[in-house]
Structure 1
Amino acid sequence: MSWCTEAAATHPAPRPSWPTAWPPPTRPQFGPPLRQQLAARQVPADLIEQLCTRMASLNQAIADDPELGPDFVIGHSYFCQPPAQPGQASEWLRLIFEQEIGPLLADYWREQPATAAAQLRKLLA
């Protein structure tokens, strides 16, 4: 069982209804386990660092937004299936940012499209 599958199986999606800081925006989903899995699949180290730092920064912005908060941070599951060819990793990441994360941000900030666009630009920079 891969780390992503195991994490999904052991950490159910429902969250408590009371105010909480769990899961915190810098939770380990973009930490060593994901980094190790991506490295084992031969995703270049600089791309792994880019993915993890940019997603941690985005999640912090989401968690700090009073209209969203920590319950809206984005998980690691989008990034669990890197391409078989390491040379395709950069394009794989760009497509996830554009086709998966971008529309999610547009939905999160539908009344603030400039904020969604700015956050997407940071991911793609």
Structure 2
Amino acid sequence: MTTRSCPCGLPQAYDDCCGRYHRGPATAPTAEALMRSRYCAFVKGDVGYLLRTWHPRTRPGRLDLDPGMRWTGLEILGTGDGSAFHTTGTVEFRASFRGGSLHERSRFERVDGAWVYVDGDIGA
């Protein structure tokens, strides 16, 4: 049986990679791991996870995903801080979708020990 790699781009199977964060209670240990798991949540349409991992200060009241959007790949371009030893971090990435790509420099913070997405600069 062949196991497909996680949509986030790492070679592990989804269940062993981002799936464990989506299911809980495990949380992403770094800002990059959270970024990857959030990208994967967009691929899977997991709105609940996206909202749970969004900073309460900037989280929208609701999130409507485009059912026609087909994400095709994630490339991490750079990171700043965001390790187990930091309280803030940044991840610059390019997320490809059918017909284009999104380039963003995202900001992350820890809230109650867990990494959350704060906001980002598109086209960074």
TM-score (norm 2): 0.30
Larger % of strand: which? 2
Q: Between Structure 1 and Structure 2, whose CA radius of gyration is higher?
A: 1
TM-score (norm 1): 0.30
Larger % of helix: which? 1
